Structure 1
Amino acid sequence: MHIDILTLFPEMIESVFQTSILKKAQEKEKFNYNLINFRDYTENKHNKVDDYPYGGGAGMVLAPQPIFDAVEDVKSKRKTKPRVILMCPQGERYSQKKAEELAEEDHLIFICGHYEGYDERIREHLVTDEISIGDYVLTGGELGAMVVVDSVVRLLPEVLGNEESAPQDSFSTGMLEHPHYTRPREFRGLKVPDVLLSGDHAKIEAWRRRESLKRTYERRKELIKEELLSKEDRKILDDILEELHSSTFE
């Protein structure tokens, strides 16, 4: 995979790409990236990339020319058909499903904006996707782009050390992940559940499935899709609801 990021502040991103999983993924040659300062593409003598909005109003708007030219230049250097992603609070709410979709691509281009917004022609005629990482406003799109890149790259084949890690993550299964424990067996009087020490893999998997369902119901019940639950899942969930109901009235 190749990733291009258009930004006015490439130094914000560089350090993140040189640490942890992103660095290891590059060393394994699973992806590479290029940071493009789209100010370098401006045609005005003051190197401005923004201007006042027509019709008046507060703030400045990113002009189309530098961004159009930067994206077109990037696309001309590769034979792939990229996904051009606009980081924008008006975009689609980002999800694990979207991360899995983007992980299938060969080439991603991210546009990170600043100021009040984008000229609408960028949105309408240049991008393929608009993504928001949440219902709040950031100073620019760089932090959002880094979140998306990290979540996508870790899904690429052989990036994570354990091939089962990504498929078992929260949201990858459609639900929150089960609790985890490690050594010591007892810490300050708090013990690891006996089933995890049993060596019985069937019982361990059943426990993890139950705990995943329970945690999802308690914290994010909107994630539970009835049509996707197996007959056994429904029975487990019924038991969990009965247990929670009983504990409420004790």
Structure 2
Amino acid sequence: MAHIPNAAGRPSWRASVLTLFPEMFPGPLGFSLVGQALQAELWSLALHQIRDFGIGRHRAVDDTPAGGGAGMVMRADVLAAAIDEARSQNPDLPLLYMSPRGAPFTQDKARALSQGPGVMLLAGRFEGIDERVIEARGITEVSIGDYVLSGGELAAMTLLDACVRLIPGVLGAEESLAHESFEGGLLEYPQYTKPREWEGRSTPDVLMSGDHKKIAEWRRGQSERITRERRPDLLRSKSDG
């Protein structure tokens, strides 16, 4: 198991990842503001190599699917041993399995997780994992979208990035978080900067007016328009709620 970094043992939001490829981490999580927050110990990252708990001389972690079929399935006994070891160090972290059949990961879920002690993520490979370990260890399945990746590592990084950036002190400007896409159930309004004129296109006059009320009204209207055009499902969900 590798720890990145939190060597001083100071309290932080904790991420724990079970994977066959710990060398993939921190990857993009080591850059920009999230990476700076990792170095500043605003959060910590523990990596657990699943193969350390593999069976036999070759440390096998998978086997053929019961009932036949293509591919291989990660073994329940191997995963349970890895999970139990990881949980012995962080027993309070919720355990999530990155899976395309899981419940959709949303901004609300990212916010809820960011306000807790952290998260433990299982990054699967092959055709998936034995159903029995999901049941026996109370694992929650989470999906970042309706598509299939080669493994759960990139999905785990996506979830961690979404959570870590919400930890107080990571982004610095708390106000900026309130105006992002999905905050308030709407997509974000268009953004502009210098130059005022570019290739025959102008920054909207209202944004240069200095009238903060009109600017807020324009941005709200633009958010509603974009959401209505691109994600009407968000508006339906909001009205249902």
Provide the aligned length of Structure 1 versus Structure 2.
228
Aligned partner of residue 87 in structure 1, secondary structure: strand
What TM-score, normalized to structure 1? 0.86
Matches within 5 A, 1:71-86: 71-78=83-90, 80-86=91-97
Distance 1:84 1:70 in 2: 12
Task: Name the residue aligned to 1:11.
Answer: 23
Are positions 1:122 and 2:133 aligned together? Answer: yes
Runs of 4+ in 1 over 6 A off after TM superposition: none
Which one is further off, 20-29 or 166-175?
20-29
1:32-61, CA deviations, whole angstroms, 9 ceiling, x for partnerless residues? 001111101224222000011222211111
Aligned partner of residue 116 in structure 1, secondary structure: coil
Structure 1: 5+ residue runs without aligned partners? 230-250
Aligned partner of residue 193 in structure 2, secondary structure: coil
Aligned partner of residue 85 in structure 1, secondary structure: strand
- Structure 1 residue 28: deviation in Å? 3.1
- Contact 1:86/1:127 (8 A) holds in 2: no
Task: Name the residue aligned to 2:153.
Answer: 142
Distance 2:33 2:134 in 1: 31
Task: Name the residue aligned to 2:62.
Answer: 50
User: Residues 94 and 23 of structure 1: is their aligned pair in 2 closer, same or farther, counting only changes over 3 Å?
Assistant: same
What TM-score, normalized to structure 2? 0.89
Structure 2: 5+ residue runs without aligned partners? 1-12
Distance 2:176 2:138 in 1: 32
Over the matched positions of the two proteins, sequence identity in percent amounts to: 43
Distance 1:13 1:125 in 2: 28
CA-based RMSD: 1.7
1:136-184, CA deviations, whole angstroms, 9 ceiling, x for partnerless residues? 1111101111110000111111111211122211012211011100001
Distance 1:39 1:122 in 2: 16
Distance 2:76 2:39 in 1: 35
- Structure 1 residue 228: deviation in Å? 5.4
Distance 1:226 1:34 in 2: 36
1:81-122, CA deviations, whole angstroms, 9 ceiling, x for partnerless residues? 110000111100111111112112203110011111111112
- Contact 2:185/2:238 (8 A) holds in 1: no
Task: Name the residue aligned to 2:218.
Answer: 207
Task: Name the residue aligned to 2:48.
Answer: 36
